[in-house]
Amino acid sequence: MKTRFAPSPTGYLHKGHIWSALCVAAVAKSKNASIHLRIEDHDKLRCSKHFSDIIKKDLEWLGFEWQSESIQSERYEIYEKYFEFLQKKDLLYELYKTDKPKIMLKNPKGEDFAIKDALEQWTYQFAVVVDDFEDGIDLIVRGEDLKDSVDKQITLAKIIGRTEMPLFIHHSLIYDSYGKKLSKRDGSEGICKERESGAQPKKVLSEICRLMLPGKDIPEEIGWGEAVAIV
């Protein structure tokens, strides 16, 4: 099997991302799956190479390992191929809410959704389905906030020719003191600050595991492999 960890470089990795990476690695280990690192930089306005580079440094510092990788911004020809396929099937239409339209998919199973936004950027729902199909991802481990995307993504996957659907597993999230999930958009503090200040990755991992696994006896320092084993 093959799974993936797919951060978006719109900011720095925070503890919620590290928890997600631990969950991906734990499920991959249990199912003997390889891990693909995908940089999801389809949002041209918010993503940057600077954030991509820091994300990879943070992951390496923590001990996260992956066997293959890709960058969405290098895959536009692939997206165009599937876009043209949907056009030929007459499954796309323009939806005007501003002076520029979104390109919508006619969803036979439910609510229509965008394939391109009003800035002519590929949407998450479209790019991730194409990527998972092209990359042979058959195990998807991600946050529970994305459960509502499953039906749309399966529908699109079937339309573009995928016959066997991936296994979806959704993990719990880290929330702040106000009950909101950690978010780069809201300025959640990046792991890179701790790395650059000289913090030990084992202490960072221990803190995250203690927060998310309160019933387990976790040492004050724990390595990546040890953390994966207890998640």
Residue 120 inside a domain? The answer is no
Residue 59 inside a domain? The answer is yes
Residue 96 inside a domain? The answer is no
* pLDDT of 183: 57
Beta-strand ranges (E) seen in 72-192 are 92-96, 101-105, 113-116, 139-143, 167-171
Q: List the one residue out of 124, 120, 9, 106 whose CA is nearest residue 57.
A: 9
Residue 114 inside a domain? The answer is no
Tens digit of pLDDT for each residue in 58-97?
999 999 999 999 999 999 999 999 999 999 999 999 999 8
Residue 58 inside a domain? The answer is yes
**Structural domain count of the chain:** 1
Q: Residue 188 belongs to what domain range?
A: 2-75+125-230
Q: Are 141 and 3 in contact (CB under 8 A)?
A: yes
The residues of the chain scoring below 50 in pLDDT are 187
Residue 118 inside a domain? The answer is no
CA 104, CA 91: separation in Å to the nearest integer? 8
Residue 38 inside a domain? The answer is yes
Q: CATH number of the domain at 149, please.
A: 3.40.50.620
Kind and range of the H or E run holding 140: strand 139-143
